[in-house]
């Protein structure tokens, strides 16, 4: 097999599900031109007409939930009940924008010295989405739906290991709107993606991926001065004070860490536990881990999934070994079988350890202890990332103080981070910039045009 082939492999049984030679730059340019042609008519549809298409996408997602969720689980290993929930969440987001976009995109009237001044929101053109494999439908839908309903068209560069999901998404949008190429999937190599951006084939790019992907894409997109939005991962703090129901919170910590087998940008990754309850927290966490056993993701009784590829399991294993070589310990003995890695925690990781601020993308967390409130804040902020965080305390005044001080795009109080269609999502620092979802996400890829009458 040529190394240039695009391929997806079932991480549970190593079955090759898909392989194909990548598109050439010429073929890619032709597909983008189809989207540019379609944008001329799409942007002149009324918001109500575009919203009807979005509603249809939601209906198709619900109608084909079983087939699409099985595709997710086969292609990247997600537990089937999580895949079903992912499709349902996508449909909910479609409902939100179908019902609210018309009002959210209305002109904003400004109070000025002029007789009238408004901000009008108009589409930019063709927007590229560079999307990851961990939520192969949700990541795309949450990017694509607001971009489309605001009048743009889309080309998708999905992660190669979920190419079947990428093609299924294209078919979904084509069926919802058969009158033009408003959404096309590009099966291309990463280096060709950068050429597409550098040479100005598209009018904007939204990236969800690694920090390094963001840097590479940003350099290429900057050459053509196009609009960019980045969500580049996180190292979320989960801060626990001594006044909580510790059993409830520790179980929530396990659940947050193991969402999607820990392969989630906003799952808890760094647990910060007040010293007086540190040992008890670890006891409960360790006890909870006993329930998890490896299994086929398509079986409903399975409760821990493989990582999305064996290569990702290799990378996480290497990080754990590196941490251990620099003094860290694991809560339980490290255990791996193929692409499966048993859930665990890293203990005694100080700032001299090279993995101290690494994003652990898998079922492994990191735990620290603190005494004072400001110590917890300093621990949380001692990271190059700033995506999300959660604070657990019965003292709401203290919770608000901590939430205000944490440098991140969002903070959740007495709940673990989770996304919602109505709430803007994104980060700061090396977690990126710009927002998805809510009105902010709807307006990201629009020209905010001022129209003034004297």
Residue 2: predicted pLDDT: 43
- The residue assigned the tokens 């999607």 is 260
Whether the predicted pLDDT of 52 surpasses 50: yes
The answer to whether 59 is a known catalytic residue is no
Quote the mean pLDDT of the chain.
96
**Two tokens, residue 282:** 């670890």
Residue of 94, 265, 436, 444 marked catalytic: 265
With contact defined as beta carbons under 8 Å apart, do 154 and 148 qualify?
yes
Architecture of domain 6-232+431-453: 3-Layer(aba) Sandwich (3.40)
pLDDT at 394 over 80: yes
pLDDT tens digits, one per residue of 283-305: 999 999 999 999 999 999 999 99
- The answer, yes or no, to whether residue 315 has pLDDT greater than 90, is yes
CATH superfamily membership of 237-420: Aldehyde Dehydrogenase; Chain A, domain 2 (3.40.309.10)
CB 411 within 8 A of CB 433: no
Is residue 165 annotated as a catalytic residue, yes or no? no
The one catalytic residue among 75, 170, 231, 436: 231
- Return residue ranges of the chain for CATH 3.40.309.10: 237-420
Mean pLDDT value of segment 395-421 = 97
What is the phi/psi pair of residue 208, to 5°?
A: -120, 120
Q: What is the mean pLDDT of residues 421-431?
A: 97
Nearest to 272 by CA among 369, 352, 396: 369
Element (H, E) at 446: strand 446-453
In whole angstroms, give the CA distance from residue 169 to residue 8.
16
Contact between 142 and 444 (Cβ < 8 Å)? no
For residues 157 and 197, what is the distance between their CA atoms, to the nearest angstrom?
A: 12
**pLDDT over 70 for what percent of the chain?**
99
List the 446-453 sheet strands across, edge first.
108-109, 116-123, 446-453
**Taking a C-beta distance cutoff of 8 angstroms, is the pair 413, 388 a contact?**
no
Q: In which element (H, E) is residue 227 found?
A: strand 227-231
d(CA 422, CA 97): 9
Token pair listed for 262: 């820990």
Cα dist from 283 to 232, 254, 331, whole Å: 33, 12, 10
Query: Would you state the pLDDT for residue 1?
Result: 37
Give the model's pLDDT for residue 3. 47
Interatomic CA distance for residues 71 and 139, integer angstroms: 15
Q: Which residues contact 435 (CB under 8 A, 6 or more apart)?
A: 229, 409, 424, 425, 426, 441, 444
Query: pLDDT, tens digit, for every residue of 180-225?
Result: 999 999 999 988 999 999 999 999 999 999 999 999 999 999 999 9
Report d(CA 122, CA 349) in Å as an integer: 49
How sure is the predictor about 407, in pLDDT bands with cuts at 50, 70 and 90? Answer: very high
Q: What's the CA dihedral at 85, 237, 363, 273 to 10 degrees?
A: -120
Q: What is the pLDDT of residues 95-133, one digit of tens each?
A: 999 999 999 999 999 999 999 999 999 999 999 999 999
Residue 20 β-bridge partners = 6
Residue-level pLDDT at 4: 80
Task: Using CB atoms within 10 Å of the CB of residue 74, give its burial: 0 to 12 exposed, 13 to 18 middle, 19+ buried.
Answer: buried
Which of 238, 236, 260 has the alpha carbon at shortest distance from 250? 238
- List the structure tokens of 201: 């084939």
Q: Residue 191 is encoded by which pair of tokens?
A: 């280096």
Locate tokens 């999300």: which residue?
A: 388
What is the share, in percent, of the chain residues with pLDDT greater than 90? 98
3-class DSSP state of 337: strand
In contact, 240 and 263? CB cutoff 8 Å: no
Say if strands 227-231 and 432-433 run parallel, antiparallel, or are unpaired: antiparallel
- Where do you find CATH 3.40.605.10 in the chain? 6-232+431-453
Walk across the sheet containing 204-208 and list its strands: 183-185, 153-158, 126-131, 204-208, 227-231, 432-433
Q: Tens digit of pLDDT for each residue in 317-351?
A: 999 999 999 999 999 999 999 999 999 999 999 99
């Amino acid at each position: 097999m040529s190394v240039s082939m695009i391929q997806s492999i079932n991480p549970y049984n190593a079955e090759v599900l898909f392989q194909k030679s990548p598109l050439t730059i010429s073929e890619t340019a032709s597909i983008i031109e189809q989207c540019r042609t379609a944008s001329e008519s799409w942007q002149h549809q009324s918001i109500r007409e575009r919203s009807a298409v979005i509603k249809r996408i939601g209906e198709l997602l619900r109608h084909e939930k079983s087939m699409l969720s099985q595709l997710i689980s086969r292609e990247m290993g997600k537990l089937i009940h999580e895949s079903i929930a992912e499709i349902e969440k996508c449909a909910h987001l479609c409902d939100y924008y179908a019902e609210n976009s018309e009002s959210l995109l209305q002109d904003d009237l400004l109070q000025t010295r002029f007789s009238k001044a408004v901000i009008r929101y108009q589409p930019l053109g063709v927007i590229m989405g560079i999307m990851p494999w961990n939520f192969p439908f949700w990541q795309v839908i949450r990017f694509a739906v607001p971009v489309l309903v605001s009048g743009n068209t889309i080309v998708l560069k999905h992660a190669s290991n979920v190419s079947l999901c990428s093609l299924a998404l294209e078919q979904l949008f084509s069926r919802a709107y058969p009158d033009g190429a408003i959404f096309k999937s590009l099966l291309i190599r990463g280096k060709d993606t950068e050429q597409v951006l550098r040479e100005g084939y598209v009018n904007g790019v939204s990236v969800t991926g690694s920090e390094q992907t963001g840097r590479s894409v940003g350099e290429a997109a900057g050459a053509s001065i196009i609009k960019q939005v980045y969500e580049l991962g996180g190292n979320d703090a989960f801060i626990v004070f001594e006044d909580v129901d510790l059993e409830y919170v520790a179980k929530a910590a396990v659940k947050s860490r193991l969402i999607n087998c820990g392969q989630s940008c906003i799952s808890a990754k760094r647990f910060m536990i007040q010293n007086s309850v540190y040992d008890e927290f670890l006891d409960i966490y360790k006890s909870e881990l006993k329930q998890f056993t490896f299994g086929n993701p398509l079986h409903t009784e399975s409760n821990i999934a493989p990582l999305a590829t064996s290569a990702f399991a290799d990378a996480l294993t290497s990080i754990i070994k590196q941490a251990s070589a620099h003094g860290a310990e694991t809560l339980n003995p490290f255990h791996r079988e193929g692409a499966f890695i048993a859930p665990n925690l890293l203990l005694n990781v100080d700032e001299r350890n090279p993995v101290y601020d690494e994003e652990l993308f898998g079922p492994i967390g990191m735990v620290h202890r603190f005494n004072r409130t400001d110590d917890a804040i300093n621990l949380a902020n001692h990271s190059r990332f700033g995506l999300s965080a959660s604070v657990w305390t019965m003292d709401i005044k203290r919770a608000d103080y901590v939430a205000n001080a944490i440098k991140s795009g969002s903070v959740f109080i007495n709940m673990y981070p989770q996304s919602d269609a109505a709430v803007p999502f994104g980060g700061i620092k090396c977690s990126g910039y710009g927002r998805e979802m809510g009105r902010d996400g709807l307006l990201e890829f629009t020209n905010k045009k001022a129209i003034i009458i004297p």
